[in-house]
Structure 1
Amino acid sequence: MAAAHRVLRYIKGSPGRGLFYPANTILKLKSFLGLDWGTCTETRKSVMGFCIFLGSSLISWRSKKQATVSKSSSEAKYRALAMTAFELQWLNMLLQDLHVTTTDPAVVFCDSKSAIAIAENHVFHERTKHIEIDCHVVRERVARGLIKLLSVSTLN
């Protein structure tokens, strides 16, 4: 209840600011994923973030320090990809409960070609053994057609 009151106080205190949700939008989930590898100077944990859109409207976002230290940026990115896949699956189930149908898989824009390659390669390599569970999470959602991974450049 305290969190709900806090949200209401924020909305009341910031008129004219907000998120726009148009009525005539295509109901397709898409997300953008970003990561700063080893950015915490004390723990060297990575900070990941994602934002998820339904059509052109922002509906979910998160920025969080990862729970473990990653040996490579690909490992950190893959862990962030798994977290994004979980959020997209939850949103898909929520939309189904609200009787909103989405026929296309959710698109995940990721700037790591190596993380996408790991997700699409069905053979485990020794260097991905330590992220095996995250590999299964993402691969399963790709195979079921819940998400589609696309590469996006971080350059202008």
Structure 2
Amino acid sequence: MSALRTLHYTALLRILRYLKGTMFHGLHYSAYSSLELRAFSDADWAGDPADRRSATGFCFFLGNYLLTWCSKKQSLTARSSNEAEYHALANTTHERLWLRWLLANMGVSSPGAISLYCDNQSTI
């Protein structure tokens, strides 16, 4: 968003054309939903049998609605499930800070701290 180019503008026009063609399709977001931002994070330890790298997955909810999600292979090879979960939480926290900044710039302030959930008890 800080160094936009012609390629980005072309992609934006394509997205707007797509949205114009699908005006009657969509998701209903209630105006009465809370603006609490919650994050869920997970990792699978050594999930790729070829290089033994783990995968990170996280998703963010704004109120009751899914806002964004991501799944990608970690850049490092973790030696334990704890380490894989720590990397997943670090990636989620990085995204969480960026998302909070983006929402604040759009005028959506999230009340209080952002909840971050993880399913690994030893990592918690």
TM over 0.5: yes
1:56 aligned to which of 52, 64, 82? 64
1:20 deviation in Å? 3.4
TM-score (structure 1 length as normaliser): 0.64
Deviation per CA, 1:93-137, whole angstroms, max 9, x where unpaired? 112212222222111110012222xxxxxxxxxxxxxxxxxxxxx
Map 1:41-52 to 2 at 5 A. 41-52=49-60
The percent identity for this pair of structures is 42
Map 1:1-156 to 2 at 5 A. 1=9, 3-4=11-12, 7=15, 18-116=26-124
Residues 2 and 34 of structure 1, relative CA distance in 2, 3 Å threshold: farther
Q: Which has the higher contact order (CA 8 A, sep 6+)?
A: 2
- Please say which of residues 75-84 and 5-14 is displaced more in the overlay: 5-14
- For 1:93 and 1:109, locate their aligned partners in 2 and report how far apart those are by CA, in whole Å: 20
CA contact (8 A) 1:22 1:57 kept: no
TM-score (structure 2 length as normaliser): 0.79
Counterpart for residue 133 of structure 1: none
5+ residue gaps in structure 1?
117-156
Deviation per CA, 1:58-109, whole angstroms, max 9, x where unpaired? 1111000000100001101010001101111111111221222222211111
- Please say which of residues 91-100 and 47-56 is displaced more in the overlay: 91-100
Aligned length: 116
5+ residue gaps in structure 2?
1-8
Q: Which amino acid aligns with 2:93?
A: A
Tell me, what secondary structure is at the counterpart of 2:85? helix
Aligned-residue RMSD, C-alpha: 2.3
